[in-house]
Amino acid sequence: MTVARTLEVIRPPVSQSGPIGWVRTNLMSNWYNSLLTVVTLALVIFFLKTGLTWVFIDADWSPVRSNLKLFLVGQYPAAEMWRVGVIALMVSLLLGVSWGVWGEVARTFARVAAIGLLALAFFPLSLDDLSVEGRLWILANPGMIGIGYLLARAPSIGPLPMLRPGPVVIAWLVSFFLGIILLRGIEGIPALPEVSTTLWGGLALNLILAIVGIVASFPLGVLLALGRRSNLPAVSYLSILFIETVRGVPLVTLLFMTQIILPLFLPEDFRIDRVSRALLAITLFSSAYMAENVRGGLQAIPQGQVDAAKALGLGGLHTTLFIVLPQALRAVIPAIVGQFISLFKDTSLVVIVGLLDVVGVGKSIFLGNVEWIDSQREVYVFLAAVFWVFTYSMSYASQKLEQALGVGKR
């Protein structure tokens, strides 16, 4: 006779698994770890309570609420603010499209942007701080993100094929130039009057300087890195001379040189506006550091990769473009993004040469209204939060890109 026996599954005790087990293993494994955990938790609660009390109760945010336009676009004419709204809608649409095309890499940014815009639209500001029309413009942006996502996820729209990453990248580049044209205007067109770059300012100026600096310095840095490793002595020595000279000079010095020294060498009837001169200094400075980052990636590629490419019949140009350079850039993504983050923070230095970026706006607020002189802490905390949001977003995007490309994995 066969006796059927039922084996009862005995689970581990709660104290050894789940959240309680994790706490016992990682935070309270012995008496001094338990003491350190309790002290740290008490300090975190104290500072968190103090900080939140100051932010929501004690702090005076009136300088920020009353000067939102200055913080965003500086002295840009109020009658032409519709251009900024159109640019924001265009960016929101492309952000939604990017979400649909690239998935997780852009999803977080699209969601955060939509939530942030909704929060700003319904934030309890007075009509003097943010009008009904301004709230409607802000509310339209989350809708454009959704429309862009639906367009990207659609298999086809009539004769239009499904959107691909390549055209989306081109669309981002085209949108940037269209945005510059909208901001600047076109002389002779009444519907789009020209707005001098001297009126540009605020966060928009920081973003323009950073985006142009990143887009322009990246290919220039790659060319300089390749030139430094060139077998042609003239190309190699000139690249080394440029890289080492620029890297040995502070960015502030380059900004002063482009603002003061450069106009002395230009013809009297030829003038370059201050924003363009600042862009030149930032691009040259960033490209020199970018060249060294790329050179480090090039040196990390084994010689066997080049020998294998030659054995397959590839020439020097094709070997560099399709074998060496993609692997080198993939290996130094963290260093490249770190350089981009540093570049974005360095845009605040343009206040030294008379450009009113977002930090310059914060300083000018106290000069124009002495009643807010005691609210400097609130303004600088706001500025720190703005820079943190953008720099952390760039770092997060770098991590997602590394995961997508498998950086650090065999």
Half-sphere exposure of 68 (CA within 13 A, CB side): 17
The structure's pTM equals 0.85
Single out the residue in 356, 378, 399 at which a domain terminates: 356
The closest of 278, 228, 221 to 251, measured between CA atoms, is: 278
Domain match, 117 and 230 both: no
pLDDT the model gives residue 5: 54
pLDDT the model gives residue 159: 45
Consecutive 10-residue averages of pLDDT for the chain (410 residues):
55 62 79 87 93 88 85 88 90 88 77 79 60 80 88 63 75 89 87 88 91 92 93 93 94 91 84 90 95 93 89 87 90 91 93 88 82 85 91 85 70
Domain match, 183 and 298 both: no
pLDDT the model gives residue 383: 92
Domain match, 185 and 79 both: yes
- Structural domain count of the chain: 2
| Domain around 314 | 200-356
Domain match, 268 and 144 both: no
Spatial separation of the C-alpha atoms in residues 95 and 148, rounded to whole Å: 7
- Cα 88 to its chain centre, rounded Å, is 16
Domain match, 322 and 212 both: yes
pLDDT the model gives residue 16: 58
Residue 25 lies in a domain: no
Domain match, 228 and 270 both: yes
CA 391-68-251 angle, to 5 degrees, is 40
Domain match, 120 and 244 both: no
Spatial separation of the C-alpha atoms in residues 232 and 316, rounded to whole Å: 14
Residue 111 lies in a domain: yes
Single out the residue in 328, 356, 384 at which a domain terminates: 356
pLDDT the model gives residue 283: 94
Domain match, 229 and 284 both: yes
CA distances from 301 to 332, 333, 338 (A): 11, 14, 21
Spatial separation of the C-alpha atoms in residues 331 and 329, rounded to whole Å: 5
Domain match, 101 and 208 both: no
Whose tokens are 């995961």? That residue is: 403
Helix H, strand E, coil C: the string for 328-375 is HHHHCHHHHHHHHHHHHHHHHHHHHHCCCEHHHHHHHHHHHCHHHHHH
pLDDT the model gives residue 60: 86
Single out the residue in 149, 175, 195 at which a domain terminates: 195
Domain match, 209 and 164 both: no
The three-state secondary structure class of 379 is: helix
* Helices 274-299 & 202-228 angle (0-180, nearest 10): 40
Residue 384 lies in a domain: no
Domain match, 172 and 272 both: no
Domain match, 251 and 341 both: yes
Spatial separation of the C-alpha atoms in residues 2 and 330, rounded to whole Å: 64
Q: What are the φ/ψ torsions at residue 313 (nearest 5 degrees)?
A: 95, 10
